[in-house]
């Protein structure tokens, strides 16, 4: 089903900061913890409330953050979770049940305020999305709905993408503990928070939690600790309020478009009123105050129905909404426009056909199955020196490149020898992709005992211009799957132990890409899949130190070893808008290129 995006912003009231009351204060919880908050509300009346609860700067949210909700008829409260910013208490580790307990008490405190009508909804992305799950699991009576976005769990969709420690997670650990919340605390002090000033100068403000960077590094496998920093299934099963999950496919932190659908279809399977919203874009694209205009409209519609009680019919609509080809004119998310929108009764879309394209020994992606000869072919690349920088269009424009030349001119460069490119023939008709591809690679190494894989999937137009679609990461030694969780949409390694590789032996590696996406490969365009290694220099924030030693690695293509990608094809669907201008799709860099270069080593 297809619909056009529409929202009548003229129905909103436009508040200025002078029109509202701002409070900067604290909520005292039952265990005497002081939770720092800031609130904004009209000067008179009682209102439903939007509550944002994060470990960053929510208790120092400026008026601009609250304004979209004020204009839509809500009060706004931002609060810092336990042990962050000016909130007191000790954070044992990042976002555990105690944050949910305290957040639920803040919900009930809001409901008792004279300016509140007793109806509260929550919003927020990233850690501010995870906190909502913890709060909702506590079932505070006055919580009516939650809208988490940009979610990542404690392991494979965040800190250890594909089993690889992300350097950005370590950088994030330092800034989140020592910089970002402090900036929020300073804002509060500047705006008159004398209690926060005293607290920041006291011994209680120091050493409130262990060094999170150490906790991340101490847990290289998926274990009980990583399960505690994202609500476990037992906690998620307690969520009973309407929930709308928002995920952006090219989220620079990695796995939101994997974690969001995973939560929707698995852990909240029995929740009655739930929604999943998927769009192309960045980590913040799914948030209300930093995200795309269509996403803000979805937030308000969902909150209006379940927090305000407006009977707008959203509960009668299909559970899944997909915004295709969201463009941001001038890079401004507030001006974002979706090319078109489709709705679906469930996820994954049942009509999707998983169409195989096989990696061939002559660098093609072919719908034809490999022949009968077991030795049909393999391609070799030099590991780990080949990586494709897809952080933005500047590095993407010259990558993969040689040490001294461009992708086209560096015919024998080291970097090109470290990548294998595979490309389809130009398509005879549009091919709409909706979901997360599964990739199976048959891999061998000739040195060491492990290898890291980085994949990139791209759209190539008839002029040779290349657009990034999605990436994938997988450590070869984590090839054991969690069969109970794995499905066509989500190949889930167990990540419980490392099974080292032996040189010369061929191993089957199954993996999904980092997240689901909606993309139309138009008639005359081709798809290109690149196999290489991750780079230490982050792509936006994705980046890791490749495991293992220098090696000649091989990808096999034969009847016995049919390396392939299963594409989630939506039958009969075609593009419903003109091709977006290059550079207008957030977090989808592009480069100009005139010819196909297969890459790899010149050996068989």
Residue 406: which pLDDT band, with cuts at 50, 70 and 90? very low
What's residue 405's pLDDT? 39
- 32 contact partners, CB below 8 Å, separation of at least 6: none
- 521 contact partners, CB below 8 Å, separation of at least 6: 427, 430, 431, 432, 433, 459, 527
What's residue 209's pLDDT? 55
Lowest mean pLDDT among 234-243, 342-351, 399-408, 497-506: 399-408
What is the per-residue pLDDT across 17-74, written as a single tens digit (0 to 9) for each? 999 999 999 999 999 999 999 999 999 999 999 999 999 999 999 999 999 999 999 9
Residue 538: which pLDDT band, with cuts at 50, 70 and 90? low
Q: What is the token pair recorded at 599?
A: 């890459």
What's residue 3's pLDDT? 39
Instruction: Tell me the mean pLDDT in the region 164-182.
Output: 83
> To which H or E segment does residue 276 belong?
strand 274-279
What's residue 291's pLDDT? 87
Q: Has residue 240 got a pLDDT over 90? A: yes
Neighbours of 510 (CB within 10 A): 15
∠397-341-294 over CA atoms, to 5°?
A: 80
What's residue 371's pLDDT? 80
Rounded Cα distance between 16 and 40, Å, is: 11
Alpha-helical segments (H) within 179-328: 180-190, 194-200, 212-217, 224-228, 233-236, 256-262, 293-303
What's residue 12's pLDDT? 66
Q: Has residue 160 got a pLDDT over 60? A: yes
What is the per-residue pLDDT across 270-299, written as a single tens digit (0 to 9) for each? 999 999 999 999 999 999 888 889 999 999
Percent of the chain with pLDDT over 90: 73
Instruction: Please say whether the beta carbons of 230 and 262 come within 8 A.
Output: no
What's residue 289's pLDDT? 85
Q: Which long-range contacts (CB under 8 A, 24 or more apart) does 39-46 make?
A: 39/75, 39/76, 39/77, 39/78, 40/66, 40/70, 40/75, 40/76, 41/70, 41/75, 41/76, 41/115, 42/15, 42/70, 42/75, 43/19, 45/115, 46/114, 46/115, 46/116, 46/117
Q: Has residue 11 got a pLDDT over 90? A: no
Task: Report the chain's mean pLDDT, rounded to a whole number.
Answer: 90
Length of the chain: 604
Q: Has residue 167 got a pLDDT over 60? A: yes
Instruction: Tell me the mean pLDDT in the region 321-327.
Output: 98
Judge if pTM exceeds 0.75: yes
What's residue 95's pLDDT? 75
Rounded Cα distance between 471 and 388, Å, is: 10
What's residue 86's pLDDT? 92
Spell out the domains of the chain, with CATH numbers in brackets: 2-344 (3.40.50.1820), 361-388+417-575 (2.60.120.260)
Rounded Cα distance between 195 and 142, Å, is: 28
Q: What is the token pair recorded at 215?
A: 């906790």
What is the per-residue pLDDT across 548-600, written as a single tens digit (0 to 9) for each? 999 999 999 999 999 999 999 999 999 999 999 999 999 999 988 778 989 99
Residue 62, CA atoms < 13 Å, CB-side half-sphere? 8
What is the per-residue pLDDT across 441-469, written as a single tens digit (0 to 9) for each? 999 999 999 999 999 999 999 999 999 99
What's residue 211's pLDDT? 74
Q: Has residue 414 got a pLDDT over 80? A: no
Q: Has residue 136 got a pLDDT over 70? A: yes
What's residue 103's pLDDT? 98
What's residue 537's pLDDT? 64
What's residue 203's pLDDT? 59
Instruction: Tell me the mean pLDDT in the region 158-174.
Output: 88
What is the per-residue pLDDT across 475-518, written as a single tens digit (0 to 9) for each? 999 999 999 999 999 999 999 999 999 999 999 999 999 999 99
**At which residue do the structure tokens 């997670």 appear?**
169
- 488 contact partners, CB below 8 Å, separation of at least 6: 348, 354, 438, 566
């Amino acid at each position: 089903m297809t619909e056009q995006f529409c929202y009548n912003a003229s129905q909103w009231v436009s508040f200025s900061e002078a029109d509202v009351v701002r409070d900067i204060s604290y909520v005292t919880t039952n265990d005497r913890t002081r939770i720092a908050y800031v609130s904004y509300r009209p000067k008179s009346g009682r209102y439903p409330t939007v509550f944002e609860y994060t470990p960053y700067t929510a208790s120092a949210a400026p008026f601009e953050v609250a304004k979209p909700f004020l204009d839509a008829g809500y009060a706004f409260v931002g609060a810092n979770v336990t042990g962050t910013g000016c909130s007191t208490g000790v954070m044992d580790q990042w976002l555990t049940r105690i944050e949910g307990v305290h957040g639920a008490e803040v919900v009930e405190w809001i409901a008792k305020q004279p300016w509140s009508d007793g109806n509260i909804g929550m919003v927020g992305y990233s850690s501010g999305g995870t906190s909502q799950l913890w709060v909702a699991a506590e079932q505070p009576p006055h919580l009516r709905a939650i809208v988490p976005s940009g979610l990542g769990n404690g392991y494979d969709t965040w800190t250890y993408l594909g089993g690889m420690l992300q350097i950005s997670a370590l950088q994030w650990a330092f800034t989140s503990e020592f910089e970002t919340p402090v900036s929020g605390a300073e804002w509060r002090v500047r705006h008159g928070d004398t209690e926060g000033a005293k607290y920041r100068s006291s011994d209680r403000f120091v050493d409130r939690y262990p060094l999170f960077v150490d906790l991340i590094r101490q847990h290289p496998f998926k274990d009980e600790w990583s399960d505690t920093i994202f609500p476990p299934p037992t906690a998620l099963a307690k969520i009973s309020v309407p929930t709308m999950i928002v995920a952006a496919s090219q989220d620079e932190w990695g796995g939101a478009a994997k974690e969001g659908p995973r939560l929707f279809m698995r852990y909240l399977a029995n929740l009655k009123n739930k929604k999943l919203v998927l769009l192309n874009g960045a980590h913040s694209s799914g948030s209300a105050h930093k995200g795309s205009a269509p996403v803000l409209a979805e937030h308000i519609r969902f909150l209006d129905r379940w927090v305000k009680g407006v009977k707008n019919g959203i509960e009668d609509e299909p559970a899944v909404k997909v915004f295709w080809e969201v463009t941001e004119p001038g890079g401004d998310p507030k001006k974002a426009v979706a090319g078109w929108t489709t709705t679906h009764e469930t996820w994954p879309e049942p009509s999707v056909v998983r169409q195989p394209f096989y990696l061939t020994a002559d660098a093609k992606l072919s719908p034809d199955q490999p022949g009968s000869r077991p030795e049909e072919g393999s391609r070799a690349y030099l590991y780990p020196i080949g990586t494709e920088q897809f952080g933005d269009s500047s590095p993407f424009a010259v990558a993969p490149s040689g040490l001294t030349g461009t992708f086209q001119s560096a015919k024998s460069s080291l970097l090109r020898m470290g990548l294998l490119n595979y490309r389809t023939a130009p398509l005879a008709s549009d091919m709409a992709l909706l979901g997360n591809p599964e990739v199976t690679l048959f891999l061998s190494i000739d040195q060491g005992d492990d290898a890291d894989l980085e994949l990139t999937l791209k759209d190539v137009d008839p002029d040779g211009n290349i657009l990034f679609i999605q990436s994938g990461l997988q450590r070869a030694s984590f090839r054991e799957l969690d069969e109970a969780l794995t499905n066509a949409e989500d190949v889930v390694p167990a990540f419980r132990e490392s099974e080292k590789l032996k040189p010369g032996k061929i191993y089957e590696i199954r993996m999904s890409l980092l997240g689901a996406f909606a993309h139309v490969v138009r008639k005359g365009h081709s798809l290109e899949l690149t196999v290489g290694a991750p780079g230490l220099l982050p792509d936006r924030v994705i980046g890791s130190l490749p495991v293992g030693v220098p090696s000649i690695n091989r990808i096999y293509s034969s009847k016995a070893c049919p390396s392939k990608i299963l594409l989630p094809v939506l039958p009969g669907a075609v593009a419903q808008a003109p091709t977006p201008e290059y550079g207008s799709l957030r977090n989808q860099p592009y480069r100009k290129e005139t010819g196909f270069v297969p890459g790899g080593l010149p050996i068989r």
